A = this chain, B = another copy of it.
Amino acid sequence: MFIKAECLQRTGSFKLRGAWWRLSSIPEAERAAGVVAFSSGNHAQGVAWAAQRLGMPATIVMPADAPAAKVAGTRASGAEIVFYDRATESRETIAAGLAAARGAVLVPSFDDPWIVEGQGTAGLEIVDQYRAATGRAVERIAVCCGGGGLSSGIALAAPHAAIVVVEPEGWDDMGESLRRGAIVPVGAHPPATSCDALQTMRVADLTFGILQRRGATGLAVGESEIAAAMRFAFETLKLVVEPGGAVTLAAALAGKLPLDSTVLMVSGGNVDPATFRALTA
């Protein structure tokens, strides 16, 4: 089993790849006004991390129910946090208002060519690392998918590998969109999911278009499969993996994905200890 363990990445997920690439492209003269982003937590930490290193102020719009680990990680990088209510407020509107008022750059979490390109650096590493470890080319990469920034970036970076996106059941809109050949949003009443990082209601033309042209396919996994994968990661891999980061491993352990010549992207490990205990007990 080959795993790209981005839970071990700085900030605990792959998200700083895209954030760094986007923020470092902002001309020096425009950096003082800072950046604004909205995120349940991993993109938040990535943007905060990159902004701190570039000396830029960062404001992050986060849901009031974001995991404490993600709020703490974002705050630790010096970002200002503005909370909103998932049920009654629009994070897009709040973030756009803040960006306009401050003259700050709004940094989307996936619908942006810089972000896609930055996340794709994980794909460049997968290609090189798989070849170094096995002497062969990687044939298949399974990627957890919310808005599709990571999966489309990897699809571009690994043009010879089959791309399989993995989503929680009921939130598998990218898979469904790829099957139908057109973007389908998540249904009106999606089921509860532990995958806070993958609760994106609609993918982007940019990310869907890349995955469609690359012939990507989709898979969905259930909550008990995700919990089993988190337990496996703890007991066997000695890795702390968050629910959204465990979906590819869940698919593999459930026999939904061949392991031969496959790399599983395990995208993040930002989970509160209490949540981890509850899910894996």
Interface set of A (CB-CB < 8 Å, partner B): 7-8, 12, 69, 231, 234-235, 237-241, 269, 273, 276-277, 280-281
Question: Is chain A's binding surface mostly helix, strand, loop or mixed?
Answer: helix
* Residue in B269, B277, B281 whose CB lies within 8 Å of A238: B269
Collect the chain B residues with CB atoms within 8 Å of residue A235's CB.
69, 273
Give complex CA distance A273, B69 in Å.
20
Evaluate whether A231 and B7 lie within 8 angstroms (CB atoms) in the complex, with A12-B238, A238-B12, A238-B239 already known.
Answer: no
Give complex CA distance A269, B234 in Å.
9
Q: How far is the CB of A46 from chain B (nearest CB, A)?
A: 15
* Residue in B8, B231, B240, B281 whose CB lies within 8 Å of A234: B240
Extra contacts besides A8-B237, A231-B273, A277-B281 (17): CB < 8 Å: A7-B238, A8-B238, A8-B239, A12-B238, A69-B235, A234-B240, A234-B273, A234-B276, A235-B273, A238-B239, A238-B240, A238-B269, A239-B239, A239-B240, A240-B240, A273-B280, A277-B277
Kindly name the residue among A7, A238, A269, A281 whose own CB sees the greatest number of chain B CB atoms within 10 A.
Answer: A238
